Amino acid sequence: MTVHVITLFPDVIDTYVAAGILARARGEGKLLVITWHLRDFATDKHQKVDDYPYGGGAGIILKPDVMARAIRRVLNSVKAGRRERTPVVLTTPHGRPFDNSVAREYSEQQEWIVVCGHYGGVDKRISETLVTDEVSIGDYVLMGGELAAAVMIEAASRFIPGVLGNHASAERDTFEDTLLGPPVYTRPAAFEGRGIPPELLTGNHLEIERWRRRQQLELTLKRRPDLLEKARLTDDDLRYLATLGYKKENLTLAPAKALKRSHSKVSQALK
């Protein structure tokens, strides 16, 4: 998987992917992260990349001409056979929520581009013509999109075969089936007067799996009941949740719809 990141702070991305599992994935050729400095695409002597918004207001906006040159240059670096299928992702609070399913979606892309928003945002004409997807990692505002880009890269990388020592870790992670993960324990068995749930010591794998599933359901109901609306619940799950006071019709939250644009629009903008 190759990820291009257009950013004002390439060192932030380069430092992040140079450590831990991501560094190992890069060394093994499973992940390539290329940073592109936005200022390199400015044409004036001061390398100006932003300006004040029309209509006034706080903040400054990333200029569309500079951003367009950057995106087109990166797209042109992609192999011709992939170019028109390469996603261009903008990090923005306006985007669809980034979750485990979106991470898996991008892990299946051979190549994709992340545009890091900054300051007061990116000129709307860029998202209308060159961006294929807009993504948000949460309902809060950061000073730039670099942390969001790093989150997306790491989350997607976990699904690439061989990146994790045990691929089952990604398959069974928290949120993979839209539920929170169960509590986990390790040695020592006794710690400050607290022990291990007896179910985990039985050696009975069916009983252990049942305990873990029920812990997932209980924890999700307590802390993130909205996730139950999208979960794949069995009859046994529903019966157990009913003992906790949950009924499926209690929730009416709908899963977020993807905000994705066709790549044909980007293809036209490249011409």
pLDDT in tens, 30-47: 999 999 999 999 999 999
In angstroms, how far is CA 203 from the centroid of its own chain? 36
Asked if residue 265 is part of any domain, the answer here is: no
One domain for residues 42 and 127: yes
The answer to whether residue 62 scores a pLDDT higher than 60 is yes
Asked if residue 267 is part of any domain, the answer here is: no
One domain for residues 17 and 36: yes
Instruction: Out of 149, 166, 183, pick the residue that ends a domain.
Output: 166
Confidence grade of residue 171 (pLDDT, cut at 50, 70, 90): low
Asked if residue 56 is part of any domain, the answer here is: yes
Instruction: Out of 135, 166, 197, pick the residue that ends a domain.
Output: 166
d(CA 49, CA 205): 58
- In the predicted model, what is the mean pLDDT of the chain? 90
Predicted local distance difference test score (pLDDT) of residue 101: 93
Confidence grade of residue 256 (pLDDT, cut at 50, 70, 90): very low
One domain for residues 204 and 243: yes
Q: Give the global pTM.
A: 0.83
d(CA 238, CA 208): 19
One domain for residues 68 and 198: no
Asked if residue 260 is part of any domain, the answer here is: no
pLDDT digits (tens, 9 = 90+) for 94-103: 999 999 999 9
Asked if residue 119 is part of any domain, the answer here is: yes
Amino acid at site 174: T
Instruction: Out of 166, 187, 214, pick the residue that ends a domain.
Output: 166
One domain for residues 189 and 134: no
Asked if residue 188 is part of any domain, the answer here is: yes
- Give the tokens for residue 213: 């599933």
In the chain, the number of structural domains is 2
Please report, for the domain that includes residue 212, its CATH number. 1.10.1270.20
The answer to whether residue 174 scores a pLDDT higher than 70 is no
Asked if residue 263 is part of any domain, the answer here is: no
One domain for residues 89 and 55: yes
What mean pLDDT comes out for the span 82-90?
95
One domain for residues 92 and 210: no
Confidence grade of residue 250 (pLDDT, cut at 50, 70, 90): low
Predicted local distance difference test score (pLDDT) of residue 204: 96
Predicted local distance difference test score (pLDDT) of residue 252: 42
- Bridge partners (DSSP) of residue 122 are 62
The answer to whether residue 168 scores a pLDDT higher than 60 is no
Predicted local distance difference test score (pLDDT) of residue 67: 98
Are 87 and 259 in contact by the 8 Å Cβ rule? The answer is no
One domain for residues 92 and 142: yes
One domain for residues 35 and 122: yes
One domain for residues 65 and 104: yes
The set of residues, in sequence order, having a beta carbon less than 8 Å from that of 74 and lying 6+ positions away, is 4, 6, 36, 113
- The mean-pLDDT minimum among 6-10, 190-194, 240-244, 254-258 falls in 254-258
Asked if residue 269 is part of any domain, the answer here is: no
The answer to whether residue 119 scores a pLDDT higher than 90 is no
DSSP string, the chain: -EEEEEES-HHHHHHHTTSHHHHHHHHTTS-EEEEEEGGGG--STT---EEPPTT--SS-EE-HHHHHHHHHHHHHHS-HHHHTT--EEEEEEEEEEP-HHHHHHHHT-SEEEEE--BTT-B-HHHHHHT-SEEEESSSS--SBSHHHHHHHHHHHHTTSTTTSSSTHHHHTSTTTTSSPPPP---S-S-BTTB---GGGGS--HHHHHHHHHHHHHHHHHHH-GGGGGTS---HHHHHHHHHTT--GGG--PPPPPP-B--HHHHHHHH-
One domain for residues 26 and 115: yes
Please report, for the domain that includes residue 114, its CATH number. 3.40.1280.10
Predicted local distance difference test score (pLDDT) of residue 9: 97
Domain of residue 183: give its range. 174-255
One domain for residues 61 and 36: yes
